């Protein structure tokens, strides 16, 4: 049985851990609110840019990008790819741990995707956990093209621009068949959704919403404008994905630290109970010894 000193030392240690987890929870909660505000601020731009690209694609490609007869070669490469080419996976994970199953779910999904590949593939890593995973990866013919770490929780559009340039560079220079982004999407404070998003080639753009693009005269022409907008469209999508992943990570860390604080509180209560029981047992034993000694002297 542990001594009173050992139990008190354990109680002190658990209390310190509880204070740390509570502080981490409060920090994650404050940062998560800012991350949610960033998502709301970036959404209108992404929506309007999406509508503009859809409208231009409708005008050029006769209501759908899948009908690419009228698309010039410079645009076709965004919508059509080399079916025999390699694939590229962009894994967006956290820079730190202590966020529950946030990183392990991403790694598990990435491994599942890799196992379905029957040829060499490429990777771009975002976050230290993603980078470390690919450094330890064995048994796959994989080449890491770019690493990006230390951007969370202060994601900016500059990071999206750098990442977008690296993705487009790899897509065109390596003549890839597709690019998939694996990340956690922020659904609510208590829920994150694992997403495998095929960012390239661009999925057939559905017909634009009625009235989304007035019949303007364009200068330069529609195809030139769309060619200039598509890289920005992709970077806006990447920026949204980074913000989603950032908010999801912070909410996962907040929930994990909340659970850790509750567990620490329960452990501390259990240790206090053990401490009190042992003290009571010692006091009872001492009283019994005193009574026994007094009876022996009286007799």
Domain ranges for the chain: 4-22+257-294, 27-253
Using pLDDT thresholds of 50, 70 and 90, give the confidence band for residue 20.
very high
- Mean pLDDT score, 263-274: 91
Q: What confidence tens digit (pLDDT) does each residue in 23-45 have?
A: 999 999 999 888 888 888 888 88
pTM of the model as a whole = 0.84
Residue 1 pLDDT = 61
- Tell whether the model's pLDDT for residue 66 goes beyond 50: no
Mean pLDDT score of the chain, rounded to an integer?
86
CA dihedral 191, 108, 184, 165 (to 10 degrees): 180
Using pLDDT thresholds of 50, 70 and 90, give the confidence band for residue 213.
low
- Mean pLDDT score, 59-83: 66
Phi–psi pair at 88, nearest 5 degrees? -130, 130
Instruction: Looking at the structure, give the CATH architecture of the domain made up of residues 27-253.
Output: 3-Layer(aba) Sandwich (3.40)
Residue 47 pLDDT = 79
Residue 94 pLDDT = 94
Q: What percent of the chain has pLDDT over 70?
A: 91
- Mean pLDDT score, 9-31: 91
Using pLDDT thresholds of 50, 70 and 90, give the confidence band for residue 65.
very low
Strands 178-188 vs 191-200: parallel, antiparallel or unpaired? antiparallel
Domain 4-22+257-294: top CATH class: mainly alpha
């Amino acid at each position: 049985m542990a001594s009173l000193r050992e139990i008190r030392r354990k109680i002190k240690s658990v209390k310190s851990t509880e204070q740390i987890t509570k502080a981490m929870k409060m920090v994650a909660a404050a940062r998560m609110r800012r991350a949610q505000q960033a998502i709301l601020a970036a959404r209108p731009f992404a929506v309007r840019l999406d509508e503009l690209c859809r409208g231009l694609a409708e005008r050029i490609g006769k209501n759908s990008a899948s009908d690419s007869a009228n698309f010039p070669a410079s645009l076709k490469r965004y919508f059509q790819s080399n079916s025999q080419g390699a694939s590229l996976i962009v894994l967006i994970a956290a820079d730190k741990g202590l966020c529950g199953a946030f990183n392990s779910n991403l790694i598990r999904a990435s491994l599942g995707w890799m196992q379905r590949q029957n040829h060499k593939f490429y990777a771009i890593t975002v976050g230290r956990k993603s980078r470390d995973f690919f450094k330890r990866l064995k048994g796959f013919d994989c080449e890491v093209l770019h690493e990006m770490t230390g951007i969370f929780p202060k994601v900016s559009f500059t990071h999206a621009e750098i990442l977008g340039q690296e993705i487009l560079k790899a897509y065109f220079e390596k003549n890839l068949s597709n690019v998939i982004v694996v990340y956690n999407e922020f659904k609510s404070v208590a829920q994150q959704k694992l997403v495998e998003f095929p960012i390239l080639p661009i999925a057939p753009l559905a017909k634009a919403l009625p009235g989304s693009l007035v019949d303007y005269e364009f200068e330069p022409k529609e195809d030139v404008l769309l060619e200039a907008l598509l890289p920005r469209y992709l970077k806006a999508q990447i920026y949204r994905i980074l913000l989603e992943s950032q908010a999801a990570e912070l909410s996962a860390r907040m929930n994990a630290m909340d659970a850790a604080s509750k567990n620490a509180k329960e452990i501390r209560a259990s240790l206090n109970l053990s401490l009190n029981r042992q003290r009571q047992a010692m006091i009872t034993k001492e009283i019994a010894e005193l009574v026994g000694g007094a009876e022996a002297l009286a007799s």
